[in-house]
Every structure is written in C-alpha cells, then in structure tokens.
A and B are shown apart, each in its own frame.
Chain A
Amino acid sequence: MANTIIGSSIIIDGEISGDEDLVIQGTVKGKISLKESLYVEASAVVEADIEVQNVEITGRVTGNIAATDKVELKADCRVVGDVRAPRILIADGASFKGNVDMDVKDR
C-alpha cells in the first residue's frame, strides 16, 4: 500500500510526484501530485498545492487541494485553501477555511 513515508523530521521544499500512496509526517512545501492516496498525518505540515486521487488530512495543510476522487478532512486537521473534489468529507472537529467545489464530474 503506502510505500512512501516522509518522516516527521523531514523537510522537503520542492515537488513530489508519483504513482503510489504517500504518507507525510514531516514538512512539505511546494507541490504534491500523486495518482494514488495522500495521507497527511497529525504531525505533518504541508504548504503545497495538492493534486491526488484521494487525500486524508489529519495534520495541517495550506494550499489548494484537487482530488479526482475524495478529500477527507479529519478531526483536528487544519486546512486553509480551496478544495475541489467530487466527494468531500469534513469531520466534526476539523478546522477549514476556503472554498469547496464538488462540481467536478468524473475526472
């Protein structure tokens, strides 16, 4: 499943792209584009534009998020930015500021 992990002490400033699941526990600035799922864990800080299939956010994200399938904002997450996806879930306890656009048909 998730082969790639960005550990909690790792800082990446740049672009990440790939065809597999990505787990972020550290800091990523720049751009993330995946054809699979992205997991932003509680310790993670992401300041990036995100293009993925699925994304689950428990940590902090600043940037625009575009998912072809689903965006899930879990409790305790902090997200600032616009979210575009056919399915968007915002859990109780999540903090979110930005626009939501679910009007994306099967991309």
Chain B
Amino acid sequence: MAATKEFGATGAETTVIGPSILISGKLSGDEDLTVRGRVEGELSLTRTLIVEPSGIVKANVSVRNAIVSGVVVGNITASESVELTREGRMVGDIRSPRVIIVDGASFRGRVDMGNAEPRAANERPASQTRPALTRPVVRPAAAPPRPVVAARPAAAKPLPPAARPVVSAAPRVEPKSGGDAKPQPPPPPPQPVLVGEAGKKKVLVKKKK
C-alpha cells in the first residue's frame, strides 16, 4: 500500500500505462498520459499524450500535445502539437497546428497543419510578383528604344536612364562607367567623340584613385 501511495502522490496529474498493460476501448481524461504498454480503440485527452518507446497505441487520438517515441497506428488530432521523436514510428494522419518530425522518426500518412495561411501567403506573393515583374520589364523595354534611336550610343544600352540626356549624360555616365570600367571599354570604340571624352575622364578617375 505504501507503494501505491507513493505512486499516487507522484502521479497526481499523470497516468501511466505500464509495459504489460493492454487497454482496449475508450480512454479519455484531463491529465497527462504516459503509455508504455498498449492502448487500442479511442483516446482523447485535454493534455499531453506521451508514447514511450515501449508503448503501442492503435487508436484514434485526440489530445492537446502528443509526443511519440513508440508506435502509433491511427490518426492523431492535436490542438497544439505533435512530435515524432527519433524513436517514433507512426502510421496515420496528423492534424495539428505544430508538427515536429525529428530525424530518425518513421512516419507514413498525411499531415494537416490546418491553417490556410501558408497557402494564402503563397498565392498572394505569386500574384503580386508576376505583375510586378511584367510591368517593369515592359517599361524598360519600351523606354530604351526611344533613347537608343535618338541618342544612338550603343554603350548606353545597359544604362538606359543615362542614355536620354546625351550631352549632359557624360558626367553621369562617368561614375557609372567608372564602376563598370572593365566591361564598358570595348563598346566605346564605335563612338569616337564620346570615347575620347569618356576615355580621358576614365583615366583621370583612375589617376585620382
């Protein structure tokens, strides 16, 4: 009897199903449940289910939290979280806002984290990015042709905004071309006048550096 009292004291809010125990039927409760044996049927708790490595649960489970280190065959619905640890083995569906499956765990079934948020979040950015991409692409594509035809600098193609003001563009082009000094030198040759100016200025910039 002493033993029972001790266990009663320590297990005040914890129920333990020992390794040789088989429970078949319905089990419900408002406290933590540790399963080291077998539970078959239906299991519903308002708190945490812990299936230890020796535990086998063949049941539809509805709990707040579930930590599975043993074997679960059946569906788990958890209002908070389901965790499959390294030793956990499960076949069945999981419905829970938080699902943790650790490396080493074995699981076959569906996972439903409930919230439509992730799906909605994917749809929104996708629909936003598409127009965002298409619009800017269209604008620069339409814009460059005008200055290219009017201003003719082939070197200016990569820098459409600077291309519009041809004469006044020179100073603006310098810093930009200065940054891209190596890639730009080849294009200039076809334009003798601009090349000379740009070349001298580039050289000056280099000397300053």
Contact = CB atoms under 8 A, between A and B. Distances in A.
A22 B3 contact: no
Given A10-B15, A41-B8, A4 B21 contact: yes
Contact of A11 (B11, B13, B20, B29): B29
Given A5-B15, A11-B28, A11-B29, A18 B22 contact: yes
A32 B33 CA distance: 19
Q: Is chain A's interface secondary structure helix, strand, loop, or mixed overall?
A: strand
Interface stretch (A23-31, A80-88, A97-105): A23-31
A15 B23 contact: yes
Interface residues of B, number: 30
B11 A7 contact: yes
Contacts of A76: none
A13 B25 contact: yes
Interface in A41-99: 41, 56
A11 B31 CA distance: 11
Contacts of B197: none
A4 B25 contact: no
A76 to B, nearest CB: 14
- List the 5 closest A-B pairs by CB distance, nearest first: A14-B25, A3-B18, A18-B21, A10-B29, A4-B18
